[in-house]
Amino acid sequence: MKKVWFVGLLLGLAGCAGNEIAANPADVEVAYAETQCADPWLRPTNTSAIGYVADDTRATAILGYLKTNGVPSARDVRFQAPPPVGFNCQDCTCPSGRTIRVTISSVDLENARKIGFKRE
C-alpha cells in the first residue's frame, strides 16, 4: 500500500510541473538610461522643477508614455542602479546612473527603439 501511495504522490507532483506559466517567447526586455530630469515621461514645467518622484509614480508614467507612443504591450517596469561611484554631473540631461528595464512584446520593439529604448 505504501508503494501505491508513493507512486501516486510522484505522479501528482510530475503533473504539477507542467502547469507553470512560462514567459512568452515573444517577449523582449528593453532598457533606457535614465537621466537626471530630461526623460520624456516626467518633464518639468516652466514654473516648477520635478523634484523627487517615487518609483511607482515614475513606473506608471513610463508605462503611460510607452503605451501612448506605440508600445501597448509594455509592462513590468524595473529600475536597476549600478554600484555607487563618484558622480558629479547634475545637469538635467546627465545620466542618473540607473537603467530602466521594461518587458514588451517583440512586435512593439521597433516603436520602443524610436523613443530611445534598446533591446537587452
SS3 state of residue 11: helix
- The tally of CA atoms less than 13 A away on the side-chain side of residue 20 is 6
Using alpha carbons, select from 93, 109, 99 the residue that is nearest to residue 79. Answer: 99
pLDDT at residue 18, as a whole number: 42
* Cα dihedral 90/78/101/29 (nearest 10): 180
pLDDT at residue 31, as a whole number: 97
pTM above 0.75, yes or no: no
Question: Could you list the pLDDT tens digit for every one of the 120 residues in the chain?
Answer: 555 444 444 444 444 444 434 468 799 999 999 988 889 998 655 444 556 788 999 999 999 999 999 999 999 999 998 767 666 787 888 888 899 999 999 999 999 999 999 998
